[in-house]
Structure 1
């Protein structure tokens, strides 16, 4: 049975599946928002007030690991992949702009 087609085994509560899908969407938006919040740090770097590169570097590494995890699962975990791709981009840009500003 596939959950994305609306077919559920007898022991699966369709309401629970819908709640998990909603939770997945909210978590994806929240995660993307967390990484987009690096924009003020990037601006500060370009303004001559560089921030510490440690936190965005670790966040970028973490995002890389989560994207790899989501990608290499038997069935790709798209919410995990999509929500962490911005972390790679914004983390990298933040770290690079610390040194090149």
Structure 2
């Protein structure tokens, strides 16, 4: 096998690993934000949670979404995986005061 074929094969393997890691990171990030659902339920049930962590998570997600959108080439995986954090993080923080 030539050096060029080896280089092409190594590049394809690297790209495949990058795609797998990217998809796992997206799933993990979305799961992290969806995990606020039990806290939302607790808030609406009259057992409010501390609002600091979900508020900071919502702000963090907002900043990552903005960052992904202002890139010359939009970083859609970054935007898509953090968008639920805006909704669930901020909604969880706000619903602490609804009971």
> Per-residue displacement from partner, 1:15-66 (whole Å, max 9, x unpaired)?
1011101110000000000000000000000110000100000000000010
Mapped to 2, the partners of 1:75 and 1:36 lie a distance apart of 27
Partner of 2:80: 82
Spell out structure 1 runs of 4+ moving beyond 3 A: none
1:96 deviation in Å? 1.5
Could you say what secondary structure the match of 1:99 adopts?
Answer: coil
Give the structure-2-normalised TM-score: 0.88
User: Which of 1 and 2 has greater Rg?
Assistant: 2
Structure 2 segments unaligned to the other structure (5+ residues)? 1-7
Partner of 1:63: 61
Partner of 2:11: 13
Higher percent of residues as helix: 2
Give the structure-1-normalised TM-score: 0.86
Aligned length: 93
Aligned-pair Cα RMSD in Å: 1.7
